[in-house]
Structure formats: structure tokens, C-alpha cells
Structure 1
Amino acid sequence: MDDRQQETGASSYEGRQEHIPTLKLPDIESFANVYEGKDYTIDFTIPEFTAVCPKTGLPDFGTIEISYVPSDRCVELKSLKEYILAYRNLGIFHENVVNRILEDLIKSVRPKYARVRGDYNLRGGIKTVVTREFRSEAD
């Protein structure tokens, strides 16, 4: 770490994740919600999520939980599976995984409410859980 990094608290990985918001990933496809107007919750649990630590190159394992209240569209599961598999060899921080998944979910189905939680396996004596929520301004 150089003197500037020590002064600002920045790591040597500063700026190396800036491409994540615009990175091309498979689309999360959707289908029409024939029960639009009825509030109900859809929950997905992905217990074998894998990505790569951008610092070490080692795999990160965890569980991704997605919960949402649909508006006019619902997530198509096969496309969600393909989307999640795209992370398998991607070097990405835990925080960026959760934020990117939520943003792509919002773009796909415009939910009334959504929550994404990344519960990562213990690594180096530290357990990480990252959660982000969204509420539609229309509600």
C-alpha cells in the first residue's frame, strides 16, 4: 500500500470493480403476471451461489435469497438460473453481487418490492451478509 492509499484507506483494488454496473450478463427474462393487482410474494433461494474473489482468485460460496412482490411481470426461472451461473467465474465483491442482482431484477420485472440477500460462507474468520431492498415509488 502506498502513502496515498494509507491516507485515504483505499485498497489496491480501488477502481477495479467499476465495470460491474455495465457488465453484460444474461438477461433475466419475465412473463406476464396474470394475478396483477393481487399482492403476493415470490421467494427464491439459491444455496449454491459461486463467484470468484477478485483479490485471491479463489471461489466464494454463499446463498443468495431473492424476495419480491411482482407488479405486471414475474421472473422466468430458467433465465434466472442462467443469469446466476454467469457469476461462477466472475471476479466480484460480495457487495457488488447483491447490488447488481437487485438492479437487474428491477430492470426485468419492475417489482413493487424486492429484497436481495447474499449470505456468504465463512472465509478467513469473517462471515459476510449483504442485503439491499427496493420499494417502488408508485406504492
Structure 2
Amino acid sequence: MTPKLLGQTTPLPQSPQEAALDYVPNPRPGRTYLVRFAVPEFTSLCPVTAQPDFAHLVIDYVPDATIVESKSLKLFLGSFRNHAAFHEDCTVGIGERLFTEMAPRWLRIGGYWYPRGGIPIDVFWQSGPPPADLWLPDQGVAGYRGRG
């Protein structure tokens, strides 16, 4: 379970499917704690117009045996830059891939997408109910209000 990407010069993967995610042993097995990744500059492409879409992603998870190595996560998320998919597909797909591969006790993702055509779209997915003893802070991203 040694990270393959850490410490290496690694080009940005050309697609999410090509991107490899590295996982390392949980340094605090048996503990209930929350890991949060805030990704305020996520980009992908609209599958209809090929115009860029922008989102603020927040990924929260409770580790089990492994944690995701952050460089590999950064490269995986960066691989969406030239990937054409709807907001729902990007957000839920990221959550499902992390949940399937890492097998955390619990995971949620909030995708706070910036407006295109005047309509912001927020997409939320979670693997199930959070553990009862988990301190679960708000994701801290306000709903889009425009200039008002």
C-alpha cells in the first residue's frame, strides 16, 4: 500500500478513468474522525456546449482501514478539467469512486456549482447515515446569492 505518485513528477491524467488514486493505511484505526477536502476551484466541461463549468467541492469521510493520499486525489480531480459530464455525474461519480475504492465507514460530497445560464446547481451525495458519534460540521459553503 505504498503510494505510487507521492514524490514523483506526475503529469495530469487525461481522464478520470486514467487517474490512479493511492490509499495509505489509516494512522488512527478504530477512531471515529472526519477528514475534509475542500476543493474551491474544481473544473470540468459541459457535455453539450464544451464550455467550462466551475464548482466548489467539499468531500467529507470517516476512514476505516485506509485514507486517500492527497496528491493522488488532486491529480484525480484535476483530470476532470477536460472531461465532459453533467454536474450530477461529476459530483456523484467522484463520491462513488472514492467510496468504492477506499471503503471508508462513511462519505459525503457536496458539489456547489457556479451558475451557467443563470442557474446554480448544487449536488449532494452520501453513502448512508453518518456514524452516531461523529462530529459533523456544516460544509460551510453558502448557497449562491449572486450580487444580492
Check whether TM > 0.5: yes
The one-letter code matched in structure 2 to 1:120 is W
What RMSD over aligned residues (CA atoms) do the two structures have, in Å? 1.6
SS in structure 1 opposite 2:127?
A: strand
Match of 2:98 among 81, 105, 121: 105
Q: CA shift at 1:98, angstroms?
A: 1.1
SS in structure 2 opposite 1:71?
A: coil
| Preserved contact between residue 112 and residue 135 of structure 1 (Cα < 8 Å) | no
Q: Does 1:46 align with 2:39?
A: yes
Q: Distance in 2 between matches of 1:134 and 1:28?
A: 19
The one-letter code matched in structure 2 to 1:40 is Y
How many residues were matched structurally?
115
Measured at CA, do residues 123 and 46 of structure 1 come closer, stay the same or move farther in structure 2, by a change above 3 Å?
A: same
Higher Rg:
1
Corresponding residue of 2:23: 30
Q: Which moved more, 1:106-115 or 1:41-50?
A: 106-115
| Structure 1 unpaired stretches of 5+ | 1-22
The one-letter code matched in structure 2 to 1:35 is R
Q: CA shift at 1:99, angstroms?
A: 1.4
TM-score by structure 1 length? 0.78
Corresponding residue of 1:127: 120
Measured at CA, do residues 76 and 29 of structure 1 come closer, stay the same or move farther in structure 2, by a change above 3 Å?
A: same
Q: CA shift at 1:107, angstroms?
A: 2.3
Residues 54-102 of structure 1, C-alpha deviations (whole Å, 9 max, x = no match): 1111000111110000001001000000100110001100000011101
| Preserved contact between residue 27 and residue 83 of structure 1 (Cα < 8 Å) | yes
| Preserved contact between residue 102 and residue 115 of structure 1 (Cα < 8 Å) | yes
Percent sequence identity over aligned pairs: 35
The one-letter code matched in structure 2 to 1:30 is Y
Q: Which runs of 4+ in 1 moved over 3 A?
A: none
